[in-house]
């Protein structure tokens, strides 16, 4: 089987992305790399239980103004689209919480009065979960810039392996960065009005990015059939349906992948991967 980069996403939070991604990784088990890009709240490690062997900081460059050189022309504030710089009559204020580290201010400063210093916004932790290579990004508490941490953890992708990426909920910039360059995306949803609404948003993003995708319906025996009707109308393949099952819920609440409790699901996830390969051929 060929190696793919498979992202697991959804428009709505709480649909079961981590449930799907971790059980898929464990079902395949060999030559697998797992990347958790839900950097604000990574939780795949609770199920895969990797032994971490490496930690590195994720930094962004923050401007530092040499006011001996600065003539307070205001060019830096003018070019900063994030309003991270305010130039007063005789002082420059830097709001590091707003800075995106683009480097525009230092590049365009006429007096070359701006240099940069690194600001740590998160970490990447790497390790092994059995035979699965594991990495996740962790955003520092209070930081708002998810995307640089997502970019940093994605640099750890090993294209010689099948890569499974656990994506944050929603359709914002960190999600787009996480799914970008995937060979296939699994959209996990639920048969509720909220599930359908946010699924439609996620479908729109993936179609714009040109990434092939299919849907898994979790908790499939609640709610209504509108998700299935939508997928049928839009010719979106439904890859799997997972019912509400006490055994699955109890296992999940205890941090146990449910393929370990019910072996039939392992083969279903192996079949899921085979189906994805057919859809990407």
Q: State the CATH number of the domain containing residue 14.
A: 3.40.50.300
* Each residue's pLDDT tens digit, 99-136: 999 999 999 999 999 999 999 999 999 999 999 999 99
- Measure Cα distances from 178 to 57, 160, 174, 270 in Å: 19, 19, 6, 23
Q: Which two tokens stand for residue 107?
A: 């590049």
| Whether 160 and 207 share a structural domain | yes
Are 134 and 28 contained in the same domain? yes
The pTM of the full predicted model, rounded to 2 decimals, is 0.92
pLDDT of residue 263: 85
pLDDT, average across residues 12-19: 91
Q: Looking at the structure, tell me whether residues 93 and 205 fall in a common domain.
A: no
Give yes or no: residues 189 and 206 share one domain. yes
Could you tell me the CATH number of the domain that includes residue 108? 3.30.70.20
pLDDT, residue 209, reads 97
For residues 236 and 148, membership in a common domain is answered with yes
pLDDT digit string, tens, across residues 135-158: 999 999 999 899 999 999 999 999
Asked if residue 219 has pLDDT above 90, the reply is yes
233 shares a domain with 97 = no
Position 183 scores a pLDDT of 97
The string of pLDDT tens digits covering residues 229-279 is: 999 999 999 999 999 989 999 998 999 999 998 889 999 999 999 999 999
- What's the CA angle centered on 78, arms 74 and 81, to 5 degrees? 145
Q: Is pLDDT above 80 for 2?
A: no
**pLDDT for position 214:** 98
- Residue 28, pLDDT > 70, answer yes
Residue 223, pLDDT above cutoff 90: no
For residues 13 and 42, the model is more confident at 42
- The H or E element containing residue 277 is helix 264-280
If asked whether residues 273 and 135 sit together in one domain, one would say: yes
Query: From CA 274, how far away is CA 233, in angstroms rounded?
Result: 24
Which of 44, 78, 112 corresponds to the end of one domain? 112
* Segments of the chain assigned E as strands: 5-9, 32-36, 51-65, 85-87, 92-94, 114-129, 132-139, 162-166, 184-189, 213-218, 238-242
Quick one: 50 and 168 in the same domain?
Answer: yes
Sign of CA dihedral 17, 18, 24, 25: positive
| Average pLDDT over every residue of 44-51 | 97
pLDDT digits (tens, 9 = 90+) for 58-71: 999 999 999 999 99
Q: In the block, which residue shows the tokens 């279903």?
A: 268
Instruction: Mark whether 73 and 49 lie in a shared domain.
Output: no
pLDDT band at 1 (very low <50, low <70, confident <90, very high): low
> Could you give the number of structural domains in the chain?
2
Contact 187, 156 (CB under 8 A): no
Of 95, 112, 129, which residue constitutes the final position of a domain?
A: 112
Residues 235 and 129 grouped into a single domain: yes
Same domain, 248 and 146: yes
Q: Is the pLDDT of residue 85 over 70?
A: yes
CA distance 202 to 15: 13
166-211 tens-digit pLDDT = 999 999 999 999 999 999 999 999 999 999 999 999 999 999 999 9
Q: What is the pLDDT of residue 9?
A: 97
Strands 162-166 and 5-9: parallel
Residues 40, 97, single domain; the answer is no
Q: How confident is the model at residue 11 (pLDDT cuts 50, 70, 90)?
A: confident
Domain span including residue 128: 5-58+121-280
pLDDT at residue 57, rounded to an integer: 97
SS3 for 26-71 is HHHCCCEEEEECCCCCCCCHHHHCCEEEEEEEEEEEEEEECCCCCC
């Amino acid at each position: 089987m060929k190696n793919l980069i498979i992202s697991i996403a959804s428009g709505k939070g709480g649909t079961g992305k981590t449930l799907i991604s971790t059980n898929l990784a464990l079902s395949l088990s060999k030559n697998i790399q797992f990347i958790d890009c839900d950097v604000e709240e990574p939780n795949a490690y609770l199920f895969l239980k990797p032994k971490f062997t490496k930690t590195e900081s994720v930094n962004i460059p923050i401007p530092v103004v040499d006011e001996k050189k600065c003539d307070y022309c205001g060019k830096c504030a003018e070019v900063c689209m994030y309003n991270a710089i305010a130039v007063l009559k005789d002082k420059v204020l830097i709001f590091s919480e707003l800075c995106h580290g683009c480097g525009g201010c230092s590049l365009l400063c006429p007096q070359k009065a701006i240099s940069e210093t690194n600001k740590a916004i998160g970490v990447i932790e790497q390790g092994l979960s059995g035979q699965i290579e594991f990495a996740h990004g962790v955003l520092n508490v209070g930081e708002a810039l998810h995307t640089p941490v997502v970019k940093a953890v994605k640099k750890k992708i090993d294209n010689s392996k099948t890569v499974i990426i656990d994506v944050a909920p929603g359709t914002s910039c960190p999600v787009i960065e996480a799914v970008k360059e995937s060979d296939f995306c699994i959209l996990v949803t639920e048969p509720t009005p909220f599930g359908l609404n946010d699924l439609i948003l996620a479908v729109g993003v993936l179609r714009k990015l040109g990434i092939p995708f299919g849907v898994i319906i979790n908790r499939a025996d609640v709610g209504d059939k509108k998700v299935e009707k939508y997928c049928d109308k839009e010719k979106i393949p439904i890859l799997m349906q997972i019912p509400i099952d006490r055994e699955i819920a109890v296992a999940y609440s205890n941090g146990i992948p449910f393929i370990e409790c019910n072996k039939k699901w392992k083969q279903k996830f192996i079949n899921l991967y085979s189906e994805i390969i057919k859809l990407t051929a």
